[in-house]
Amino acid sequence: MMIRYSIFFSVFLTSISVISLPASAQQESAQEPITQEQIAQAAEQYVKDTIPPFDGTLEVTAHRLDSRAPARFCAEPLQVELANNQNFERQATVQVSCADINNTWRLYVPVRIQRMQDMLVTTRTLQPGHVISEADLQLAPVDTRTIRSAPFTNAEVVIGARVKRRVQANAPLDARDMCFVCRGETVTIISSYGNLRIEATGRAQSDGFLGERITVVNSRSEKALQGRVSATGMVTVGN
């Protein structure tokens, strides 16, 4: 009888050793895996929370993670930090990790950063010599890292300007691409003295925007005059 009991107990222990799982495996089986989407969202949210506020919209996009990666588990909240000594320019690498003693892992997530701001862009391609009208402009969000100069947001400032070089459709306007008075072109010089108004022709010595002071040379007298750009191809001197 004792022999039979020993054999039965031995078989019972063997069966237990076969079906028993390690503690970490038991914990994983009771947990839902951390999805790639959750890891990406954690990296994105960390960047959004860390970058100081600015006048515009922040767009943060984590790169697509490898779908073939094994499932990851973590019984603790995910830990997120900036990898190495980086700054938040156009791209950063964020480290997402798990401090769970049974599931220690870390993953590096590249994140693209765009600081978007509404500014004037063209509705169509503009050719040199074209005079900008309201129909050529629209406000649209643009990544501030892609612009070369101060953006324009007020259409009244640029309507009437002449295009100096080809501007692609949907491109932000650049002051270097246009002028109300362009250097070297013939302009109308208006001299106002009280009720007296005299018009003459001259040459602009520099580019000028509406309201800017530039130098023009009278074509007849060759005299240099200081004036203010008052309209497309027009400079007013005097009072």
Sequence ranges of the domains in the chain: 28-115, 117-179, 186-238
Question: Could you tell me the pLDDT band of residue 50, with boundaries at 50, 70 and 90?
Answer: very high
Give CATH for domain 186-238.
Answer: 2.30.30.760
Predicted pLDDT of residue 130 = 94
Interatomic CA distance for residues 238 and 217, integer angstroms: 14
Predicted pLDDT of residue 167 = 95
Give the pLDDT confidence of 90-124 residue by residue, as tens digits.
899 999 999 888 889 999 999 999 999 999 999 99
Q: Is pLDDT larger for residue 12 or for residue 179?
A: 179
Q: Is pLDDT larger for residue 233 or for residue 26?
A: 233
Predicted pLDDT of residue 8 = 40
Give the pLDDT confidence of 133-160 residue by residue, as tens digits.
999 999 999 999 888 888 899 998 899 8
Q: Is the pLDDT of residue 15 over 60?
A: no
Give the pLDDT confidence of 178-191 residue by residue, as tens digits.
999 999 999 999 99
Give the count of beta carbons closer than 10 Å to the beta carbon of residue 12.
9
Give CATH for domain 117-179.
Answer: 3.90.1210.10
Predicted pLDDT of residue 63 = 92
Question: Could you tell me the pLDDT band of residue 215, with boundaries at 50, 70 and 90?
Answer: very high
pTM for the model stands at 0.64
Question: Could you tell me the pLDDT band of residue 2, with boundaries at 50, 70 and 90?
Answer: very low
Predicted pLDDT of residue 7 = 37
